[in-house]
Structure 1
Amino acid sequence: MQKVLVPFDGSPSAKRAIQYLVNFSKEYPQLTVHVLNVQPGPKLYGNYVSATMLDQLNAGAEDHAKEIVAEAAAELKAAGIVCETHTAVGEVTSALVEAVTRHGCDTVVMGTRGMGSLGNLVMGSVATRVVHDSPVPVLLVK
């Protein structure tokens, strides 16, 4: 595990994944972490949305994502870990899989919200979809 992608949404479980990497880096100092926040695309209702309005909505989502990844980056850098931050707007799982390939990551480390089995059966979870779709191993941190 040398190049790691961490999907980070600011949740307690995502923060535990960051803490796991901080602890892990003490024994493996060559670790590079790519922190990614994916914001869902705007949900549009009605017949007409101008291109300018759509651009503004996406820009707002990107700005929000940058604020979220800054928190993780600060903690990783304070621990001496090399990290890069990335943001995306769109469908979460496909953006994560694309980022793994684009950045040459060999592992995904992510938190799981611990949703019950009924919730996973009905809705599915991001963690479950990433485990199935990721081309590299996924380490889930509870």
Structure 2
Amino acid sequence: MQKVLLPFDGSPSARRALDYLVTLQRRLGDLQVEVLNVQSEPKLYGNYVSASMLQQLNAGALDHARELTDKAAAVLAEAGITHACHQVVGDVSAEISKAISRLDCDSVVMGTRGMGGLGNLVMGSVATRVVHDVPVPVLLVK
């Protein structure tokens, strides 16, 4: 069984990657999809943030992540694809890399936002970082 990591943020490009996996399952069969949503750590300004406030911010982010992964899980369940959902807070590309190792994934299928050259140059691209940083094949879906 092929184990695929699907970074899923609910965007149209992530949805296209999800749809691609459903199509791939129909052709190849026997996929297990690990759906991952990474929420960025909260940006904090000021001198002091209590531990309980930080915990509440992270809990809210994880609740939002769960809502997003539940949407992907519904599509995968309807297609009869074995799956599991994971939510974390951290740097997106770093957490994708950690998830590949932790979940023993064979490949990554992810959408691209299509910002273009200038956007990628200024902001960087999660997809570009993932392609260069992970030890498994990465399929980018436009």
1:35 matched to 2:40? The reply is no
Amino acid at match of 1:136: V
Shift of 1:115: 1.3
Structure 1 segments of 4+ aligned residues over 4 angstroms from their partners: none
RMSD (CA atoms):
0.9
Percent identity among equivalent residues?
A: 67
**Aligned twin of 1:77:** 77
**Aligned twin of 1:65:** 65
Amino acid at match of 1:55: Q
Count of aligned residue pairs for this structure pair: 142
**If the length of structure 2 is used for normalisation, what is the TM-score?**
0.97
1:81 and 1:88 mapped to 2: Cα distance?
Answer: 22
1:53 matched to 2:53? The reply is yes
Residues 1-142 of structure 1: pairs in structure 2 closer than 5 A: 2-142=2-142
Q: Which runs of 5+ in 2 are unaligned?
A: none
**If the length of structure 1 is used for normalisation, what is the TM-score?**
0.97
Shift of 1:28: 2.0
Residues 64-90 of structure 1: CA distance to partner in whole angstroms, max 9, x if unpaired?
Answer: 000000000100110000000000001
Residues 9-34 of structure 1: CA distance to partner in whole angstroms, max 9, x if unpaired?
Answer: 00001000000000000122210000
